[in-house]
Amino acid sequence: MTHVSMNSLSYQQCINSRCNASYASDEVLFKCTQCGNLLDAAYHWDQIPIPKSMNFFEARWNTPGRSPAASLDFSGVWRFRELLPFVPEQDMVTVGEGRTLLQQADRLAAELGMKAGHLFLQYEGFNPSGSFKDNGMSAAFSMARKLGRSRVACASTGNTSASMALYAAAASTADRPVQAIVFVGSGKIAFGKLSQALNFGALTLQIDGDFDDCMKRVQEAADTLNLYVMNSVNPYRLEGQKTIMYRVLEGLNWEIPDWIIVPGGNLGNSSAFGKAWMELRQLGLVRKVPRLAILNAAGADTLYDLVNNKKLRWNNGCVDEQIVQDTYTAMDHQGYKAHTIASAIEIGRPVNLHKALRALDVMNGVVREVDDDMIRDHMAMVGRFGFGCEPASAASVAGLHLLREEQIIGPDERVVCILTGHQLKDPNATVEYHNPAPHTPHRRYTNSPIKVPNDLNAICRLIESNTPSPGSNA
């Protein structure tokens, strides 16, 4: 089972059902040359020995020793390698990504009016670079290794660049350095993330523009200089991110939750989730599929606008391109720039829009938006109950709150919020929340440092007067 030759089992396929063009798996393309749409990694599943049940993958937690198979089994991505068979095992790159666990969050559930045992957090901040991106990067670097590419590039709001820079540094050898080239917008990147790109040695270009400008430029530079693009337009990135869903299932003893809630920026993650469930159903490994909620920040709400106001739909792969074009033209006329405290999802033109529409279709999804105050409050709420995440990740919990208020999600449904990035990615946002500027409206979870004289009595009095009472859920 583990030593399948994986070279010819996969190919790439245009997602547009009117086109359906296919390409070899190792052709470096980020869109269909026939129609310009996105490409999927696709598989000849009938030739792949797929395990009969998902329990098979769980057994790999116990693989002992330091053999190559043990290091692949240690990875929360490659443990599921039969479900993303686009490279042979010797090309699979791992730095121990995806060792993340589904966490039951009963106190947070109580705060949101949900029953105990019904809210779970998929805590992707546990990854080596501190965000979910490592799932995708291990996969994209595996294809880069197979293709022999040693110059990789991405546009980023921060986490993609941190992850890519880490993998490039880890994959470099004295004979064969792998160069990471990062495009970030000016002043748009949280310091935790920038510090990672710099420390891992990436060539870091701060463009005079925002993420959308960077995304355009990186693709142009890649065409000109033959760089390998590691953004989620690279279909192999999303293959790695499918495994987040496999681990959620594993965390629930292979029972299917009712809802998956995820923040939406460039829409790679939500797209990968949709593909994961589509394939699991096709392979007969699951009987039903959870619903999906994608959360935009209100200041970066292109998907929300397209789906809820303009009724854009997947429509069996025939997306109404005119609606998209008209929206983007209007955004250009207005000089629209995305703006939110959740800098990770400060994106106006999500490159995976079409795949996300498909995910919404497959998973009977909804799209909502949450404003910066909601994002801040829910980030602090997550921290208060023992988890911790960066602002963008908290959009998922804020979204759950909203969907509870709308009574779309009931108190006894089983909900999984994806916490996409670690709290320490953006310490400024957290410190600012707890030290609000004068005249900031009341913030529910603010926990400001208290000045106290250098005097034991005063210190003890202060501690005694700040001890929470049992049962306060505080």
- CA atoms of 302 and 357, how far apart (whole Å): 12
Q: How many residues at the interface with ligand F0G, by CB under 6 A? A: 22
Residue closer to ligand F0G (CB basis): 344 or 403: 344
| Range in contact with ligand F0G (rule: CB under 6 A) among 89-97, 158-166, 244-252, 400-408 | 158-166
User: Residue 118 Cβ, how far from ligand F0G at the closest point, in Å?
Assistant: 23
Would you state the structure tokens that stand for residue 55, as one six-digit string?
A: 């329990």
Angstrom CA distances, 1 to 51, 83, 89, 154, stand at: 8, 12, 12, 35
User: Residue 190 Cβ, how far from ligand F0G at the closest point, in Å?
Assistant: 9
Assess 156 for contact with ligand F0G (CB under 6 A).
yes
Residue closer to ligand F0G (CB basis): 160 or 327: 160
CB atoms within 10 A of CB 465: 7
| Range in contact with ligand F0G (rule: CB under 6 A) among 9-17, 156-164, 199-207, 374-382 | 156-164
Residues between 342 and 371 that touch ligand F0G (CB under 6 A): 344-345
Residue whose C-alpha is closest to residue 43's, from 4, 11, 70: 11
Residue closer to ligand F0G (CB basis): 341 or 345: 345
Residue closer to ligand F0G (CB basis): 263 or 290: 263
Residues between 205 and 244 that touch ligand F0G (CB under 6 A): 232
Assess 393 for contact with ligand F0G (CB under 6 A).
yes
Would you state the structure tokens that stand for residue 356, as one six-digit string?
A: 């996300």
Q: For ligand F0G, which residue of 128, 390, 403, 416 counts as binding (CB under 6 A)? A: 390
Residues between 326 and 345 that touch ligand F0G (CB under 6 A): 344-345
Contact letters (x/-) for ligand F0G, 251-270, by CB under 6 A?
A: ------------xxxxxxxx
Assess 185 for contact with ligand F0G (CB under 6 A).
no
- CA atoms of 220 and 223, how far apart (whole Å): 5
Tokens 């995304």 belong to 215
- CA atoms of 213 and 223, how far apart (whole Å): 16
Q: For ligand F0G, which residue of 392, 398, 402, 429 counts as binding (CB under 6 A)? A: 392
Residue closer to ligand F0G (CB basis): 100 or 131: 131
- CA atoms of 388 and 396, how far apart (whole Å): 13
Q: Are 140 and 77 in contact (CB under 8 A)?
A: no
User: Residue 3 Cβ, how far from ligand F0G at the closest point, in Å?
Assistant: 32
- CA atoms of 351 and 38, how far apart (whole Å): 9
- What are residue 72's DSSP bridge partners? none
Residue closer to ligand F0G (CB basis): 10 or 270: 270
User: Residue 417 Cβ, how far from ligand F0G at the closest point, in Å?
Assistant: 12
- CA atoms of 299 and 21, how far apart (whole Å): 36
Residue closer to ligand F0G (CB basis): 6 or 41: 41
- What are residue 203's DSSP bridge partners? 181
- Mapped onto helix, strand or coil, the DSSP state of residue 413 is coil
User: Residue 165 Cβ, how far from ligand F0G at the closest point, in Å?
Assistant: 11
Assess 131 for contact with ligand F0G (CB under 6 A).
yes
User: Residue 7 Cβ, how far from ligand F0G at the closest point, in Å?
Assistant: 28
Tokens 């709150």 belong to 401
Q: For ligand F0G, which residue of 76, 98, 128, 158 counts as binding (CB under 6 A)? A: 158
Q: Are 124 and 420 in contact (CB under 8 A)?
A: yes
Instruction: Specify whether the backbone of 98 is left (phi greater than 0), alpha (psi in -120 to 50) or beta.
Output: left
Q: Which residues contact 39 (CB under 8 A, 6 or more apart)?
A: 12, 13, 14, 15, 23, 29, 30, 31, 32, 235
Q: What does the binding site for ligand F0G look like in residue numbers (CB under 6 A)?
A: 131, 156-160, 232, 263-270, 344-345, 390, 392-393, 420-421
